[in-house]
Chains A and B, each alone.
Chain A
Amino acid sequence: MDWTLLTVQLLNGLQLGILLFLLASGLTLIFGIMDVVNLAHGSLYMAGAFLCATFTQWFDSFLLGLLAALPAVAIIGLLVELIVIRRLYQRDHLDHVLATFGLILAFDTLTQMIWGPDGQVIPLPAWLDGQVTLTADIVLPTYRLAIITTGLLVGVGLFVLVTQTRLGMRIRAGATNRTMISALGINIGMLFSIVFGIGAVLAGLAGMMIAPITEASIGMGNQIIIVAFVVIVIGGIGSIKGAFIAAILVGLIDTMGRSYLDVLFKLFMSAQNAETSAPAISAMLIYILMAVILAVRPTGLFGPRGR
């Protein structure tokens, strides 16, 4: 066993998990409180990445780009809520799925119309672009550690927001019992907008964090949003804690699968077959995890009873 490699891969898995958490936490809030299935959450992730790329290129600074892009994504999120999502609250999940599926098509195409088909790069400042030497053997890209740190900070911030503030109290009340918010005399429309805005910013931030690694590209949200849904379903809908644990779990499983499954497969099949089938099977692992968890607990790990 190569312990160095294992450590590096665990950190890589953690980084992926953190990214998924940023996406999934907003998704699970929107879902838990508003009961809206928002497939277009991935489009906000993409919007964040593209806006951050453009602003970074304008200001010639990643941090300024990030700061400018965050409110921009929030505005886009609020507009989406105002124009489309708001009309869906009284509808069932089927309508949510379809309308937000339409949003994805529209967003992807709009993005190509504005930015063209090319990916957009986000240049990193030198202090983020290097490597950190943890031990003699373990050298990690600085930026990936920055993602982990940022994600954990946001996670703590979200935790404080939800558990310590008045807004958070309302959000929690809404997540556990939707009828209670109206009973408490809270302006539901406002609360929904705020929650959707927070979700949009978190999704956009996730896109901004990954884009310096992968570039901002059209449709980048379409696959990860499905994984984010897997995360919130595993974690139990409406539960931030569940989303966090499930995100880390999924991140680790995905990375470990990509790292070690081919080695495992080579034990009982030809090297050629192992190399080509291992990636597909490792991509399948998270879905298997989800099926197993739902088979045992139909509402997920930390899901509310009887939803």
Chain B
Amino acid sequence: MKLRIVLLSVVAALTALPAVAAETVKIGFVTTLTTPAGALGRDQIDAANIALDHIGHKMGGKDVEFIVEDDGFKPEIGKQKTDKLVKQDDVDFIAGFLWSHVLLASKKSALDGGKFLISANAGPSPLAGKACHKNFFSSSWQNDQNPMATGEVLNSKGVKKLYIMSPNYAAGKNMVSGVERTFKGEVVGKDMTKWGKDMQLDFSAELAKAKASGADAIFVFYPGPAGPAFIKQYEQAGLRGTIPLYTVFTVDALSLARLQKAGLGGVLGSWNTMFWAPDLDNATNKRFVADFKAKTGRYPTHYAAQAYDAIMLIKSGVDAVDGNTDDQDGIRAALSKADFPSVRGKYRYGPNHFPIQNFYLRTVKADANGDWFVSYVSTVLTDHQDTYYDQCHL
């Protein structure tokens, strides 16, 4: 009986964890650390920590407190964690968000709570248009932008009939509408497959349809864990050499490491588009990539690059107000200048706080050690702005 009461008091004590108020800049970071998508989150956290190392864990003269939360790849949990960061930890900035649906579910909590919200990946169209917010900034891109670049590449390669495959969630739909906006040929087929933690990974039925459709190119968006699975099945189905593959956010450092392990050499020389590449020639990027490789033994992905930029962006805001995080107007003004060393070189913000930036054609090749990576080829779009900015009235 005594034991029971003691245990009960422990439980009761747990409910009363007080919030610690200290003179620090607090950054909450919501990303995915568990489930197969956890590899993407790990990349982001590694990069953010490198960024913090680079700035000596200080912003505007204050120490930075960096709080990481795992959204478990679920919108509801992401929102719950955001609520916790807002209400319990009382952070100044909430950053991260790999997934558009998690961001859409969480944005209200962060913005209504009066926090700055920095997306380090997801760029769903509502946030670029009607639902834009003065305290929301993207350190990545609007979802439609990258596939729009791919659409241009498809046109230049003379593709007439396109088959599209994408997961069925917010970003997937944006990716599809992005490529459809710039691609001038005919879309002969489209499959939207199940996404989330129970995502569909066997594409046999869809690939058979693609093959039968008479398409002369396939466009896919399969981020994270689905990427290598798709490419493997694409090769096993014998489609390489018959129907070329164009991808966005599918072939990256994480999927390449696994594809190389699996010996799928077919991916070498394949094309994709992106706002950044590991060998993009600027000083910040060189330092970032070198340090990332030294620390983790991997090439960074674009997820990592964006997380690095998110921290640097926040620093530029906090520095501008000398650490006085109550001066939100001052921080906002500084953030919208995007005046910081980005791994993609210089970019600027549109009125909806999404970057206006270049998009590059990249190809997969082996480096001096034989490791595969995506390498810069040429610039496809220069200073490209998303198509939703004019719906945003700030």
Residues of B near A123 (CB, < 8 A) are: 261-263
Q: Which of B7-15, B29-37, B273-281, B343-351 contacts A (4 or more CB under 8 A)?
A: B29-37
Q: How far is the CA of A210 from the CA of B236 in the complex (A)?
A: 13
Task: Enumerate chain A residues within 8 angstroms of B262, measured Cβ to Cβ.
Answer: 121-124
Chain A: minimal CB distance from B393 (Å): 27
What is the CA–CA distance of A15 and B204 in the complex, to the nearest angstrom? 10
For B16, the chain A residues whose CB sits under 8 A away are none
Contacts of B197 in A (CB 8 A): 219, 222
Q: Which of A210-252 contact B (CB under 8 A)?
A: 210, 212-215, 217-220, 222-223
> Which of the listed residues A118, A139, A283 has the most CB atoms from chain B within 10 Å of its own CB?
A118
Contacting pair B237 A217 (CB below 8 A): no
Is A9 among interface residues, defined by CB-CB distance under 8 A? yes
B36 to chain A: which residues have CB within 8 Å?
A: 117-119, 217-220
A259 on the interface (CB 8 Å rule)?
A: yes
B83 at the interface (CB under 8 A from A): no
Question: Which partner residue on chain B sits nearest A276 by CB separation?
Answer: B192
Q: Flag if B233 contacts A213 (CB, 8 Å).
A: yes
Q: Does B186 contact A (CB under 8 A)?
A: no
Q: Which residues of chain A come closer than 8 Å to B192, judged between CB atoms?
A: 275-276, 279
A213 with B191: in contact, given A139-B238, A141-B238, A279-B168 (CB under 8 Å)?
A: no
Q: A118-B258, A210-B202, A255-B205 are in contact. Are A2 and B35 (CB under 8 A)?
A: no
Complex CA gap A280/B192 in Å reads 10
Q: How far is the CA of A57 from the CA of B258 in the complex (A)?
A: 12
Chain B interfacial residues counted at CB < 8 A: 43
**Which residues of the partner chain B approach A283 to less than 8 Å between Cβ atoms?**
194
CB of B205 within 8 A of CB of A118, answer no
Whether the pair B201, A214 counts as a contact (CB closer than 8 A) is yes
The reply on A180 being an interface residue by CB < 8 A is no
Q: How far is the CA of A13 from the CA of B198 in the complex (A)?
A: 19
Is B228 touching A121 in the complex (CB atoms < 8 A)? yes
A122 to B35 alpha-carbon distance, docked (Å): 19
Given A213-B229, A255-B205, answer yes or no on A119-B168 (Cβ-Cβ < 8 Å): no
Is A163 close to B, CB under 8 A? no
Chain A interface residue bracket vs B: 35 or more
Q: A178 at the A/B interface (Cβ < 8 Å)?
A: no
Contact partners of B201 in chain A: CB under 8 A: 213-215, 217, 220
Cα distance, A305 to B225, chains bound together (Å):
44
Partner of A117, one of B34, B173, B194, B204: B34
Say whether B42 faces chain A, with CB atoms less than 8 Å apart. Answer: yes
A112 an interface residue at 8 Å Cβ cutoff? yes
Contact A118 B236 (CB under 8 A): no
**Which B residue sits closest to A122, measured CB to CB?**
B262
Docked Cα-Cα span, A255 to B206, in Å, equals 9
Query: Is there an interface contact between A117 and B258, defined as CB atoms closer than 8 Å?
Result: no
* Residue with the greatest number of chain B CB neighbours at <10 A, chosen from A8, A13, A116: A8
Closest to B176 in A: A275
B232 and chain A: residue at smallest CB distance: A213
A-chain residues with CB within 8 Å of residue B34 when the two chains form the complex: 109, 112, 117, 218
Task: Check A43 for interface membership: any CB of B closer than 8 A.
Answer: no
A131 at the interface (CB under 8 A from B): yes
- Known contacts being A5-B209, A259-B208, A276-B168, is A57 close to B261, with CB within 8 Å? yes
- Distance of A11 from chain B, by nearest CB (Å): 9
Shortest beta-carbon distance from A279 to chain B in Å? 6
Question: Judging by beta carbons under 8 Å apart, are A214 and B258 in contact?
Answer: no
Q: Does B193 reach chain A (CB closer than 8 Å)?
A: yes
Q: Are B229 and A131 in contact (CB under 8 A)?
A: no
Q: Which residues 157-207 of B have a CB within 8 angstroms of A?
A: 168, 173, 190-194, 197-198, 200-202, 204-206
Which residues on the B side are within 8 Å of A8 (C-beta)?
208, 212
What separation, in Å, do the CA atoms of A109 and B72 have in the docked complex? 12
Q: What does the 1/0 interface line of A138-163 toward B look like (CB < 8 Å)?
A: 01011110000000000000000000
**A102: CB under 8 A from chain B?**
no
Who on chain A is nearest to B208 by CB?
A8
CA distance A86 to B116 in the complex (A): 53
B374 at the interface (CB under 8 A from A): no
Query: Would A121 and B261 count as touching, CB distance under 8 A?
Result: yes
Q: Is the CB of B204 within 8 A of A255?
A: yes
Residues of A within 8 A of B41 (CB): 117
Question: A16-B202, A129-B236, A141-B237 given as contacts; is B229 within 8 A of A214 (CB)?
Answer: yes
Q: Distance (Å) between the CB of A224 and the closest chain B CB?
A: 9
B320 at the interface (CB under 8 A from A): no
**What 0/1 readout, one digit per residue, does chain B (238-254) give for beta carbons within 8 Å of chain A?**
10000000000000001
Per a CB cutoff under 8 Å, which of B35, B208, B258, B261 touches A219? B35
Given A8-B212, A141-B238, A276-B168, 9 extra CB contacts under 8 A = A2-B212, A116-B38, A117-B38, A121-B228, A123-B261, A129-B235, A213-B202, A218-B38, A258-B191
Interface residues of A (CB under 8 A from B): 2, 4-5, 8-9, 12-13, 15-16, 57, 109, 112, 116-124, 129-131, 139, 141-144, 210, 212-215, 217-220, 222-223, 255, 258-259, 262, 275-276, 279-280, 283
